Structure 1
Amino acid sequence: MNKITTISIGLLLSATAAFAQSETPKPSQTTPAVNTEQNPAAPVAGKNSFTEDQAKARIEEAGYKEVTGLKLDSQGVWRATAKKDGKDAGVSLDFQGNVTMAK
């Protein structure tokens, strides 16, 4: 082989190897920002990032209507009064997105 062909092949192999190394593996599992399954220990205390509007919307999505008195307590749990199945109920939303009825 001549010198130019050898250099060309070497450069091609170097570029291919560099490209292969720059690919990042795709994660095999994604972690949602908000848990979609109910935590049996809910409501869970913790730093809550839901805004008041988001908290109200999440509670309504869980089937509650007429959400009133929504307040974030010292444990990081949104608490309110709402109606479900025509009855008044205490309801809460924790930082994990769990909506629970007061017992």
Structure 2
Amino acid sequence: MFRYLFAASAVLAFAGGAVAQTQSGSHNPAVKDGAPHMTAAPAKGANSFTEDQARGRFAKAGYEAIGKLTKQNGVWQGTATKGGKRAAVMLDYKGNVTAR
């Protein structure tokens, strides 16, 4: 009897953890999808992206004709075109793309 009770407890414990990992909308998802995320404002912090990596992130987000990029206060900044419209683009240390 004890063996069945222990097995049932273990199954419930593992099932609860699996449900928690599949919830969407988490700021820190269990599985990173690799897609660039658009945010309203860049996060401040030390940025380890190189200029080439920043250009790649902007291109992956759909931006073309990426102009000169500069890093200020840990945020890569520049201009780029998306859908025929020119915008100021920023990339924070988390890899989030912001456009204005």
Q: Normalised by the size of structure 1, how large is the TM-score?
A: 0.60
Equivalent residue runs for 1:14-29 within 5 Å: none
Note if 1:56 corresponds to 2:55: yes
Instruction: Show the counterpart of 2:97.
Output: 99
Contact 2:36 2:57 in 1 (8 A): no
Alpha-carbon distance, 1:69 to partner: 1.6
Residues 36-87 of structure 1: CA deviation (Å, up to 9, x unaligned): 57474530110000000000011110000010021101x1000010001001
User: After TM superposition, where is structure 1 displaced by more than 4 Å over at least 4 residues in a row?
Assistant: 28-32
Residues 87/37 of structure 1: CA separation in 2 closer, same or farther (3 Å cut): closer
Structure 2: gaps spanning 5 or more residues: 1-17, 22-29
Residues 42/31 of structure 1: CA separation in 2 closer, same or farther (3 Å cut): farther
What is the identity percentage for the equivalent residue pairs of Structure 1 and Structure 2? 47
Residues 86/38 of structure 1: CA separation in 2 closer, same or farther (3 Å cut): same
2:36 and 2:65 map into 1 onto residues whose CA distance is 24
How much is the aligned-residue C-alpha RMSD, in angstroms? 2.5
SS of the equivalent of 1:66 reads coil
Instruction: Show the counterpart of 1:83.
Output: 81
Instruction: Show the counterpart of 1:67.
Output: 66
Structure 1: gaps spanning 5 or more residues: 1-27
Residues 37/91 of structure 1: CA separation in 2 closer, same or farther (3 Å cut): closer
Instruction: Show the counterpart of 2:7.
Output: none
Contact 2:78 2:88 in 1 (8 A): yes
Contact 2:37 2:96 in 1 (8 A): yes
Aligned residues: 73
Q: Normalised by the size of structure 2, how large is the TM-score?
A: 0.62
